[in-house]
Amino acid sequence: MRPPGPVPNNPSPTRGTYGPHTSMSLTPGLLSATATAPPSGKPTILCLHGGGTNSTIFNIQTIRLQRALGATFDFVFIDAPFESPAGPGVMPIFEGCGPYYRWLRPGVEELDAETRALISATLAAKGRHFVGIMGFSQGGQTAAATCLEQQVVAAKVGRGRIGFGVFLNSTSLPVTAGSGVDGDGDRQLIGLPSLHVVGLQDPWREDGERLWQKYFEKDKAKKVEFDVGHRLPTRQEDTEVIAREIKRLYEETKGMAQRC
């Protein structure tokens, strides 16, 4: 069984402490950039939330990482195209923060044309310099499929729109129509440099392990593990490890992503 979404991290202390029976109401894009926010000129990472959540929730879940990397990167968060019930762990902390969304239609294991068009249009936005993509849970699956599609584009025109991928507690496998990837047959490995964050206590850890093990070129894919469940680690030292690896990916791939 695959989860539609993540177990949320505790929000930032500067925005208040939320107990197990506390709900909160949010404004989309409150902490970081939305796709329509004016670009700052910094290299940008496209962020894809887990299924059954939304861009604002993922914004909060990654606030520690944004603080560690904000001097270097912009982070752009977008909502998936299909409305969804709230994912596991979303309630009651994020009650009232809907609507919630998912990247895949229920029961469908391929990226819909609408999802692909949304991501493609975001990456092509004028004025932004996207260098990487980061996804959590189902968003990680979608990010992997996007990396593969961008790899195909780069093979044809010499350069894709993203240079690296970051996969946070990713679930499932990269699926996309016409990608050359399938469940058990021959597949084109994803060669974009990547970071795979896996929770040792994550009930869907095997999916994240399989994504890293079977679908990425090993000399370009690094896995890091933390003693957490289906969420991001909250310890400062763990956040710094992830931030350091993302900076490394960027330094190694400068110039790989096409400017718009």
Alpha-helical runs (H) found in the chain:
55-61, 63-69, 113-123, 138-157, 205-215, 236-253
Residue listed under structure tokens 């850890």: 205
Q: Let me know if 184 is a catalytic residue.
A: no
CA dihedral (182, 144, 240, 62) positive or negative: negative
Confirm if 170 and 141 have CB atoms less than 8 A apart. Answer: yes
Catalytic pick among 84, 137, 172, 194: 137
Strand duo 33-34 + 74-78: pairing: parallel
3-state secondary structure of 81: coil
Q: Let me know if 137 is a catalytic residue.
A: yes
Cα-flanking dihedrals φ and ψ of residue 55, to 5°?
-65, -35
Distances (CA, A) of 94 to 6, 54, 169, 211: 12, 10, 20, 28
Residue listed under structure tokens 């329509």: 36
Cα angle, residue 210 at apex, residues 201 and 228 outer, rounded to 5°: 15
Residue listed under structure tokens 């979608």: 142
DSSP 8-state class, residue 19: -
Q: Which residues are designated catalytic?
A: 137, 202, 230
